[in-house]
Amino acid sequence: MKKQITIIILTLIVMNGKSQVLNGNYLDINNVKAPVAADGGLFQYGTSGTQVPKGSGKTTLYSSALWLGGYDSGGQLKMAAQTYRQNGNDFFPGPIDSTGTYGAAYDATWNRVWKIKQCDIQTYYDWITVGGIGPNPLLNANDSAAMETINNWPAFNMYGAPLAPFYDYNGDGQYDPAAGDVPKIKGDEAIFFVYNDARGPHTESGGSIIGIEVQGMAYAYSCSYDSALYNTVFTNYKIINKGSFQLDSSFIGNWTDMDIGDYSDDYMGCDVGRGAYFGYNGDNIDGTGQATAYGANPPAEGVVLLKGPLKNPNGIDDAASTTPNGTNYGNGISDDERLGMSRFMCFNNTGTVNGNPTATDDYYQYLSGSWKNATPWKYGGNGLTGNTICNYMFPGSSDPSGFGTNIVPQAAWDETTSGQLPQEIRGIGSTGPFTLQPHQIQTIDFAYVYGRASQGGNLASVAIIKNRIDSIRQKFSNGLIGRNWSPSYPNWMFGLCGCNSATGINEINNNQSIITIFPNPASDNITINYTSVSKNYTITIYNAMGSLVKTIADKNASVIIPIGEFASGIYLLNVLDGNNSSVKRFVKE
């Protein structure tokens, strides 16, 4: 009874030898409400699961976390993995303290996440870089949470080493929001978190400590007009080996508990060419009428590895034909290849050989290609029997070249055609093997993609997520998503949503508030177009000295403001709409 047990303990973690509340927050800028915990656990904090559509009370993902394992030079297995925290913890909030001085003061600083919207950053940056004229637009909008994040952004760790990325306005190498420095995030809303495996014994997996620090960012885009982006949550991980030893035959895995509404009737599968795995309902109707079930035409949820770890160098540019889903192969550059999803397996909640991992070796074997009894996965049936060793379970027809079966193509294989009964199921998409050197950094990126068909049943929803995965992969490959914010390259410059689809401070219903100023620069008049839910707002204009020069109360969607008598220079226009505020800058020529 995983659900009932975990609800009680999901916000607790053992630190300093006692249970403490584990902090976190939610991404909720698009169609998905996704919990993120301070120890890197995804979707299992507070109200567990990715709620999609947001506000529906229905979820598709119950929990997800990274697993990492490999061998030291003496052949000892090192393993760090997390599931539900029922058996303990392998990961702990905060960066590695090399002195081992973890305590109450440390926890007060690091047992948290940092959530911020790109529009809040842009608004604050625009205000501070013109001298902070007028009232602070964030505080004026009662958005103290945004200002707290900006002021306390973890730009450096306790030793002064760089941590969370930031825009250094004056280039002095320090983080000072009063001087124009602001967080750099991916997406329209992001949560930064940092955790490590070195604080204490690994009571979840039982593995030996590696000494890894993970600096993570979960993010999302608010583009309601782009169905792929609007239904996707992204994660970026910077994994640093701060241990003193090399880790060989390393694998990184993304463990995911897929719960498509009713958790007891699910299937899983993978798409080798797309580097993705997915969960879907085992039949065309989810559940038996429960409020948390989706009913007819249930959705599907996919996880795609957008960027894997760097492949071990060999001095050549490996051919594209040697990988089913890696990146940078065959691009004419040596040793920049990144591994794709090299393994996928799924297991149930009750199996002996193919059930939940219970020993350290189980975790690594699931990452690298074998069952708990050390026998390799076999192609066909439930993966336990057969003659052909495989790297991917339930690939359907997505591996026509046989990359997962030693380049020997096989017939299609999935849970539907294999006669498997729908059940509670978990999966792991992993990447490797590679060598992780001491002090080496590996960066990896994932996307969690939701889709639901209005007709056609469960498999129609699988087709939708595959189309959306294609869109996400293309945008990521082209650099349109996943890049950090900067004043020179805000998201809207790349055809994404940015501040054009949100209020800039607090979202109003369905992102319906948008402000535009034109022409800009202007000499005689400016026209303000503002779409508002309330249709009742006030416009104030401040000059570069911080003086109020004009106030306009108007309920019209379009307002023409004469500025011919204004002195030439920069002005800030603030629209106050109830408790929400938007700030735009314009230039009087």
Tokens of 426: 């978990």
* pLDDT at 510 > cutoff 70: no
List the one residue out of 197, 341, 196, 193 whose CA is nearest residue 256: 341
Q: Between the CA atoms of 26, 30, 33 and 36, what dihedral angle is there, to the nearest 10 degrees?
A: -40
The model's confidence at residue 18, banded by pLDDT at 50, 70 and 90, is: low
**Is it the case that residue 186 has pLDDT exceeding 70?**
yes
pTM of the shown model:
0.85
Residue among 389, 45, 81, 407 nearest 193 (CA) = 45
User: pLDDT band at residue 200, thresholds of 50, 70 and 90?
Assistant: very high
Q: Could you tell me which residues come within 8 angstroms of residue 144 by beta carbon, excluding any fewer than 6 positions away?
A: 138
Residue (of 217, 188, 242) closest to 80 by Cα position? 242
Contact 430, 342 (CB under 8 A): yes
Is the pLDDT confidence value at 140 over 90?
Answer: no
Q: Backbone phi, then psi, for 157, in 5-degree steps?
A: -85, -170
Are residues 475 and 481 in contact, defined by beta-carbon separation less than 8 angstroms?
A: yes
Provide, rounded to the nearest whole percent, the portion of the chain with pLDDT above 90. 70
Residue type, 374: A
Give percent above pLDDT 70 in the chain.
88
Q: Which domains does the chain have, with CATH numbers?
A: 2-119+125-477 (no CATH), 513-588 (2.60.40.10)
Residue 548: its H or E element:
strand 548-554
Q: How far apart are the first and last CA of the chain?
A: 68
Is 50 exceeded by the pLDDT of residue 505?
no
Least confident residue range of 255-259, 336-340, 572-576: 572-576
Quick one: pLDDT band at residue 406, thresholds 50, 70, 90? very high
The pLDDT score that the predictor gives to residue 499 is 61
Helical segments of 453-533, H only? 458-477
Amino acid at 159: Y
Most confidently predicted of 48-52, 396-400, 483-487: 396-400
- The token pair at 383 is 């993966």
| pLDDT above 80 for 487 | no
Q: What are the tens digits of pLDDT across the range 437-485?
A: 999 999 999 999 999 999 999 999 999 999 999 999 998 998 878 877 6
Mean pLDDT of the chain: 88
With beta carbons less than 8 A apart as the criterion, state whether 451 and 300 touch.
yes
Strand order in the sheet with 569-577: 548-554, 537-542, 569-577, 580-588
Note the helical H segments in 446-529: 458-477
Query: Which of the residue ranges 7-16, 35-44, 249-258, 501-510 would you say has the lowest mean pLDDT?
Result: 501-510
Contact of 282 with 267, CB cutoff 8 Å: yes
pLDDT score at 163: 98
Is the pLDDT at 40 greater than 90? The verdict is yes
Mapped onto helix, strand or coil, the DSSP state of residue 368 is helix
Q: Tell me the per-residue pLDDT of 349-381, one tens digit each, with 9 for 90 and over.
A: 888 899 999 999 999 999 999 999 999 999 999
Residue 1 has pLDDT above 50, yes or no: no
Q: Is the pLDDT of residue 238 over 70?
A: yes
- Tell me what the mean pLDDT of segment 539-562 comes to: 78
Asked if pLDDT for residue 492 goes beyond 70, the answer is no
Torsion region of 502: left, alpha or beta (phi above 0 gives left; psi -120 to 50 gives alpha): beta
CA-based R_g, the chain, Å:
25
Mean pLDDT of 56-74: 96
pLDDT at 229 over 60: yes
pLDDT value of position 284 = 94
Q: Model confidence at 578, in pLDDT bands (50, 70, 90)?
A: low
* Torsion over CA: 454, 455, 456, 457 (sign): positive
Tens of pLDDT, residue by residue over 302-351, are 999 999 999 999 999 999 999 999 999 999 999 999 999 999 999 988 88
For residue 303, what pLDDT is reported?
Answer: 98
Lowest mean pLDDT among 216-225, 423-432, 499-508: 499-508
